[in-house]
Structure 1
Amino acid sequence: MQPRPFPALLLVLLVAIAIVNAFAEYYHWYWLMRWFDIPMHFAGGAWVAGVTLWWRFFSGRFTTAPLNKKAIFVWAMIGAIGIGLAWEAYEAIISCLTVGRMNDVLDTIGDLIFDILGGLVSAVTLWVYTYKKQ
């Protein structure tokens, strides 16, 4: 498969996430709206899974990368869960250092669920796009 350039949609999503996050930090939306991190985790999971899928299947770095439904979903989950867990570990460390305790475990589980859901949306999008063309 010929290498494809980095998808513009993923670049637009990254810029949108960065802009919304900048406003959220400036206006304290994460603290004023307790639910605000939910769409951010969803969007972040979708972006990370999208980048993982592009890197694995379309970047040209791998010569044998079978593009089938199972591989798409596995790689999307590897990206979304892997980075989601790393982010939650980072949050736990920062919380312990700044407030002296870790965030609620249910909050962490909820964050990971929305990372996974975002990753699933990326996987389904690629799968539909790939098999619609055939």
Structure 2
Amino acid sequence: MVSLRSIAFLFLGIASLYGAGVFFGWSWPWAGFLWFDIVLHFFGGALGGLIFLYANRRWQIMNGREGISGFIFTLAALLAAVALIGVLWEFVEYAFYIVMQYALNEKAPTMRVQASWYADTLGDLLSDLLGGLVVFLLLHRKKKQLTAADDKKEPRIGVVSHT
């Protein structure tokens, strides 16, 4: 269901959007494109969710959990992984901001600007989590559809059916 190709495609799409945002100045809150950052973080959360689900399938991290408890446990683990990626990215953004501040020889930001950064950070983390949640729910639905389709197929010769 999740392939390295889909992960690479989404990563390249996000990187391209981010590069365009930096080039055109869309990535900064004062540029007036607040939606742009939200979109990037949503797709970043989706990317984190895809990576988690790929790793889970490949290395069977969540192996042995079935039913609703498996669903909830996997969802919680996915959202935790996406939140961790989001927090790490916020550190990268903050470090970039500090480097740019010194590179441009700007004075320290005012308290009003700092407060807006906290709001931006919380919004970014929420967008990350929503992206991860959407990917999880879409792929869970797809898995259920594939399982239902497999159950409707004719039994193979030599396989005993208990229905």
Question: Is the structural similarity TM-score above 0.5?
Answer: yes
1:42 aligns with 2:42: yes
Q: TM-score, normalised by structure 2?
A: 0.68
Change (3 A) 1:93 1:21: closer
Counterparts of 1:87 and 1:5, CA distance in 2 = 23
Calculate the aligned-residue CA RMSD, in Å.
2.3
Letter in 2 for 1:25: V
**1:13-32 alignment to 2 at 5 Å?**
13-31=10-28, 32=31
Identity of aligned residues (%): 25
- Given that residues 38 and 111 in structure 1 are in contact (C-alpha distance below 8 angstroms), is that contact kept between their aligned partners in structure 2? yes
Q: Which moved more, 1:19-28 or 1:41-50?
A: 19-28
SS of 1:29's equivalent in the other structure is: coil
- Given that residues 2 and 50 in structure 2 are in contact (C-alpha distance below 8 angstroms), is that contact kept between their aligned partners in structure 1? no
How far off its partner does 1:98 sit? 3.9
Q: TM-score, normalised by structure 1?
A: 0.81
SS of 1:30's equivalent in the other structure is: coil
Counterpart residue number, 1:12: 9
User: Considering only CA atoms, is the larger Rg found in Structure 1 or Structure 2?
Assistant: 2
Counterpart residue number, 2:71: 69
Counterparts of 1:27 and 1:69, CA distance in 2 = 41
- Given that residues 53 and 75 in structure 1 are in contact (C-alpha distance below 8 angstroms), is that contact kept between their aligned partners in structure 2? no
Counterpart residue number, 2:157: none
